[in-house]
Every structure is written in C-alpha cells, then in structure tokens.
Chains A and B, each alone.
Chain A
Amino acid sequence: MSMHTESVSTHAAHEEHEHGGVAVYSKTLIALLILTAITVFAAGFDFGQGNVVIALVIATIKASLVALFFMHLKWDKPVNAIIAMAGFLFLGIFLMFCLLDFDSRNNFLPQNMKPTMVPLAPGTAPAGGVIRVNPSAEGEGGEKK
C-alpha cells in the first residue's frame, strides 16, 4: 500500500515538474519588462482622459502575467483562481458603488459643485461644509448641477 502512496505522490511531483520552467519564467519576465517600458514611454504623451485608462490596462496585463505564470494560476487547481477573481469582483463592486455615491453629491466633485455655494465657518457648517447662498436655485436642478 505504501508503494501505491509513493506512486501517487511521484506522479503529482512529475505533473508539477512539467509546468513552468526557466524558459517560461524568462519569457514572462521579458514581457513584463517590455510592458513596463511601454507604459513609461506612453506616459510621455498626453491622451487626456486616456492616460489613466492606458496605464491601468497595461498594469492589468502585467498583473495577469504575474498571476498566471509566476503565481502558477495557469496550471493550478481552479479553486485558487476562483478565490482570486472573487476578491477582484468584490473590489469592483466596492469601486462601482463609491463612484455612484460621490458622483451623486453636489459638494464633492468640482464639476458637480454649484458656483453659488460658499464654505461656512467650521463648527457651524452642515454635513459637507457648504450651504446654498441662493435659495431660488433650489427649484432648478434637484440634487446635482
């Protein structure tokens, strides 16, 4: 019976041995270094709103390479990848609700602020630290703009 156990573990070790390898890891490292060079180079140009998008897309490609090859998710049991993806899923939900929340406020993002609002002295201000000076503007736009 112990022989049987032995053969199982040897088989497992053999299977693991086939994955990865210096060649695969070297290619991954080279790809990561090239992507780093590309993102630094791309930062030299101004794409306006696209700057953040380009930087984050390249960062996500790099992160995926690290997770797939260095962290072995490509060859690993799927449960580990599912756990990792669940983490990022919940991070996405968190980010989405925060975006919805602060875009709906009229005292947070500069583009959502009304020009007729002034700060009150600390201690007397309502939550958010601003009041509306011109009450007639109330009827126009509800919560925002």
Chain B
Amino acid sequence: MSTTSVDLHSHGHEAEHVHDPHHQHHFTTMEQQFDTSKIGMWLFLVTEVLLFGGLFVGFGMMQARYPVEFVEAHTHLVRWQGALNTVVLLISSFTMVLAVQAAKKGDKSKQVLFLALTIVCACVFLVVKYFEYSHKFEEGWLPGHFYSYKGDSLPACQAPSPAEARATTPTGPPTPCTNGYATFFSFYFMMTGLHGFHILAGIAVLAWILARANRGEFNGTYYTPVELVGLYWHLVDLIWIYLFPLYYLIQ
C-alpha cells in the first residue's frame, strides 16, 4: 500500500501534465487534490453554520423574552410565500445535484441546463423575497427604531429625550410597553437579508461555473468547482429549511 503511494508520488509529475492541467504539483493524485479542496469547503460551511447559528440563538432568546409580541409579529409574515420559496430552493438543490452529476460525467449540455435552472430558481426566490420586503416596508414593519406600524396590541415604548430622562424619577408602576415587535423585525431582516445575500453570492458563483462548464472545462477527473459550489448551494438551502418554519410557521 505504502509502496504504491510512493510510486505514484515519484512518478506523478510526468503523468500530471500529460493528463490534467489542473493537477497541482503538491498533490499526489487528482483524487487527493479533490478531497483536500472539499475538506476546506466543509470547514468554510461550518463557519457559515456558526454565523447563522449565533443569529438563531439570539432569535430564540428574544422569542422567549417577548413571547406575546413575537407570536403576534409572526402573523404578519405570509405563509404561502415562505412555503413557495422553500419549494423553489428545494428544487434548485435538486437541479444543482444533477449539475454536479453531469459534470462528473463530462456531459456539457446537461451541466449548462441544470446550472441555468438552478440560477432561475435562485432568481425566483429573490423575486418572491422582493414582494415580501416591499409589503413589510409599506406597512412599517421595519427593524429597530425604523419600526412605524401602529396596529399592534401592545403599545411601543417611547424613548425619552435626555432632559425627560433626567427629570423622571422611578415612582409608581410604569406603563407596560414593549419593543418586542421591532426586535422581531430586526431579526427577520437580519437573518433573511443575510440569507438573501448568500443567494446573491450563490448566483454569482453559479454564473461563473456555468460559463466554465459552457467552455467544457469539467469532466470526471476535474470538476472540483462544480462540487464545491454545489455544497455551498445546498448549505444555503439547508439554512432556509430552518428559517422557514421558525419565521413563517410558528404563529
């Protein structure tokens, strides 16, 4: 076993330039090069999980802090729009995995077709998101102090001016008021917005490998970019799988 790998190593340099221009000299085989890239991609995906994970934990904390306001704010989200986007992203993951398979087989026309379909799904997702966001903007369901919706069942806290704050003394029970609604929409826009930027970045890299696939660059021995973009795209789908029920379904 070890003899074989030594053989491959010492003679690999002659074979590499003949067989695949993508083979870099510090890797013994194309397979080793592929696996190494993939481990790097998985490490990046873990950082993505932790990035969104922090926001999910924060969302959970604030949901526990403002249970009444969060449940009420949830009802402002349109369930069918979220469900439609879920289906669109699941289908795009399916077309992506077919594109990877086509790349593995070196099938150029199928690669181009499935990558294009994936980009179309990503665009549909963003169009639905655009309609969702415009509706939120119109109603004043905005993050933090931009929140201006007046129809909530609990009154919003008014921030006192510095002069008022100095004059106020802590006597008597305070008027119950809340910023829970604005907090909900801060998390909503932060998380779906960050996810939306990931979709945009996904469209950019998908377009890049679509162009490369169109030049016939990928085949059974070299399709690393397609595989890695595929992993990224599935992770974006995976994050939405958690965003959808937590925002649109728990009401």
Contacts and interface: CB of A to CB of B under 8 A. Distances in A.
Nearest to B10: A1
A142 B232 CA distance: 49
A66 B237 CA distance: 8
Contacts of B241: 59, 62-63, 66
Interface residues of A, number: 64
Contact of B50 (A28, A91, A110): A91
Contact of A36 (B57, B83, B246): B83
A137 interface: no
Chain B interface mostly = helix
A13 interface: yes
A4 B43 contact: no
A73 to B, nearest CB: 9
B213 interface: no
A70 B170 CA distance: 59
B234 A71 contact: yes
Given A8-B29, A13-B104, A91-B53, A36 B90 contact: yes
A121 B42 contact: no
Interface string A90-131: 110011001000100000111000000011111110000001
B220 A13 contact: yes
B38 A90 contact: no
A124 B172 CA distance: 16
B1 interface: no
Contacts of A70: 93-94, 96-97, 230, 234, 237
Interface stretch (B11-19, B124-132, B142-150, B187-195): B11-19
Contact of B19 (A6, A28, A32): A6
Nearest to B220: A13
B30 A43 contact: no
Contact of B160 (A26, A83, A86, A122): A122
Interface residues on B, range: 35 or more
Nearest to B49: A87
A16 B104 CA distance: 9
Contact of A39 (B15, B42, B50, B249): B249
Contacts of A22: 98, 101
Given A1-B11, A9-B30, A59 B104 contact: no
Contact of B249 (A55, A119, A121): A55
Nearest to B171: A118
B49 A91 contact: yes
Contact of B162 (A17, A102, A108, A123): A123
A123 B60 contact: no
A62 B241 CA distance: 7
Given A5-B19, A71-B234, 11 more contacts: A4-B8, A9-B221, A17-B105, A36-B83, A63-B241, A67-B234, A71-B235, A84-B46, A118-B170, A121-B165, A122-B160
